[in-house]
Structure 1
Amino acid sequence: MQGKRIFYLLLGWFSLITGIIGIFLPLLPTTPLVLLAAWCFSKSSERFHTWLINHKFFGPIVSDWQSNDGIPRKSRNRAIIFMWLGMAISSLMVGRFWATVGLVCIGICVSIYLLRMPLRSESNEDNH
């Protein structure tokens, strides 16, 4: 059991650090990596899980995901816009046809996923 706990702890930190790097690099998705870190910490360290939930920047990402209220429309739309901008920049920088096709396919799938997520009602948005 101890080995599994250490594995989740290391994976959680690796995921969180990679997510932080993803803030600055367009190809690394920050939100899914922060969510993975939260899940790993929930399996390995109550202290780090609590710290992440209460974090100024990453806490709202985890709280929105874990709540049944849905995500704010503004956050969803912003995520889609920045994802597509980041992928466009990456495609231009890489300049390979198949890389662009891959990014577009990923972008379409993630966009569909985000568009299908429940949205927080306007009255609940004011409470968060």
Structure 2
Amino acid sequence: MMRAILMIAGGCCVLLALAGAVLPVLPCTPFVLLAAACFARSSNRALRRLRRLPLLGTVLRDWEQHRGMRPAAKFAALCLALATPVITFTLNPQLSIPLGVSLLGGLVAVIVVCRLPTVRRAVSEDATADTAKIKSGRSNKLRMAA
């Protein structure tokens, strides 16, 4: 029963993450990480499929390998965290509970995003394979031929 609940929760988080990748008001990364946590406890197959998704897999791999975010993702998250209170105030210029919540949420988001490491450069699988070839005996053969 718990496995089914986690699968459903993970699927919902994937849908929210996909929506967050497109919509400017919804974050993507937290939902990807939450989906991965749900799938890790319920289905390794679903977790592998999540890692293979072109858009969401990159976010997940960056987190798993470097525990950080790419600069573009950080920039988007910071812009969203700063824009949300402005939009809230524009729609409702009075000091209100929604404005307070969006200010607090924006502040928390800025603190969290700024504290995360920045993944400067993604190492592709091809580069890793090339490095492995160089470290193997193939590089010695090239040196001997030259």
TM-score, normalisation: structure 1: 0.74
Note closer, same or farther for the CA distance 1:7–1:90 as it changes in structure 2 (3 Å cut).
same
1:4 aligns with 2:9: no
Question: In percent, how many aligned pairs have the same letter?
Answer: 23
Structure 1 residues 71 and 92, CA gap change in structure 2 (3 angstroms): closer
Q: Structure 1: 5+ residue runs without aligned partners?
A: none
Q: Which amino acid aligns with 1:110?
A: V
Match of 1:58, as an amino acid? Answer: L
From the superposition, tell whether residues 111 and 71 of structure 1 become closer, same or farther in structure 2 (CA, over 3 Å): closer
What is the CA-CA distance between 1:30 and the residue it aligns to? Answer: 0.5
The amino acid of 1:108's aligned partner reads: V
The CA deviation string for residues 51-90 of structure 1, in whole angstroms up to 9 with x for no partner, is 11111221122222222x4547xx1x22222112223332
Is the Cα–Cα contact under 8 Å of residues 8 and 41 in structure 1 kept in the other structure? yes
Structure 2 distance, partners of 1:44, 1:100, is 33
Aligned residues: 118
Looking at structure 1, the residues matched to 47 and 123 of structure 2 have their Cα atoms a distance apart, in angstroms, of 24
* 1:41 pairs with 2:39: yes
> 2: distance between equivalents of 1:59 and 1:45?
16
| 1:24 Cα deviation from its structure 2 partner | 3.1
| Structure ranking higher on relative contact order (CA contacts 8 Å, 6+ apart) | 1
CA contact (8 A) 1:71 1:118 kept: yes
Q: Is the 8 A contact 1:38 1:49 kept in 2?
A: yes
